[in-house]
Amino acid sequence: MFKVSRSRNNREDRPLKSLDRVFSKAGVASRSEARSWISGGRVRVNGKSIRNPDHWVDLERDRVTLDNKPLQQAARRYILLYKPKGYLTTRRDTEGRPTVYDLVSDAGIWLAPVGRLDLDTSGLLLMTNDTGFADRIADPERKVPKVYQVKAATLLSDGQLEQLRHGVPLNDGPTRPAQVRRLRDSARHTHLELTIAEGRNRQVRRMLEAVDSKVLKLVRTAVGPLRLGELPIGKWRDLTVEEVRLLGG
């Protein structure tokens, strides 16, 4: 039976969770997938069929089953995927476009992405069934650095790079200072490395637009201490124990 240590932040010092959250905390399904199981009558609590995903469960006292089998804590899994351009960071797409789940189907376990990379961005994407770990990595207060290689649509001046370094205004507020390094210039384009510690939607693309340019190519090459290294595009590998520790797992 799935149990966790006693929480001191819940009512009467009891670790209460909504039923759908119990499944994600156990690392066996997303909350949306769990909700479909629950509403479909596949889940019981203390032998009673529960179809309300928001039903409160006491993790120390209640027995949760799926298809009459006790819910067990899944083994923690942490993988690094080299996401190609053209893949969505979502489980399903209504238009039938490929998703990152097509690339990790052979992992044999439910995984969720830690943050997102948009359709036209490639690079390092973490995936895990450890929701607490994912929350810690995505927490903006931890300021986990993310490194991108950018091909700009124009040649960027030193002044434009300085603007990126000091922070630029966006419609959801100014960006934090960034590390910016010019890699090279071609006849019409600047290639640069940009390191940020935020995770706003399409942030790097919007930053380039804020200095009157655009992103032509975007690759995330690092998250914290992790690097793509020699991993082929479209492939994944498990993190080492040391890598998980360095990330705060």
Per the structure, the complete domain to which residue 88 belongs is given by: 78-140+226-246
Q: Are residues 217 and 240 in the same domain?
A: no
Number of separate domains in the chain? 3
Q: Which of the residues 54, 93, 102, 118 is marked catalytic?
A: 118
Q: Which CATH number do you get for residue 55?
A: 3.10.290.10
- Over the stretch 31-42, which tens digit does the pLDDT of each residue have? 888 999 999 999
Structure tokens at 199: 């995770």
Cα 77 to Cα 43: distance, rounded to the nearest angstrom: 24
Cα 167 to Cα 177: distance, rounded to the nearest angstrom: 5
pLDDT band at 3 (very low <50, low <70, confident <90, very high): very low
Better pLDDT: 15 or 95: 95
Q: Are residues 209 and 236 in the same domain?
A: no
The model's pTM: 0.83
pLDDT of 249 reads: 66
Cα 156 to Cα 175: distance, rounded to the nearest angstrom: 19
pLDDT band at 139 (very low <50, low <70, confident <90, very high): confident
Is 3 part of any domain? no
Q: Are residues 219 and 242 in the same domain?
A: no
Q: Is the pLDDT of residue 188 over 80?
A: yes
Q: Are residues 113 and 157 in the same domain?
A: no
Is 5 part of any domain? no
Long-range Cβ pairs for the range 238-246 (8 Å, 24+): 238/77, 238/78, 238/79, 238/80, 239/78, 239/79, 239/80, 239/126, 243/78, 244/78, 244/133
Question: 54 catalytic, yes or no?
Answer: no
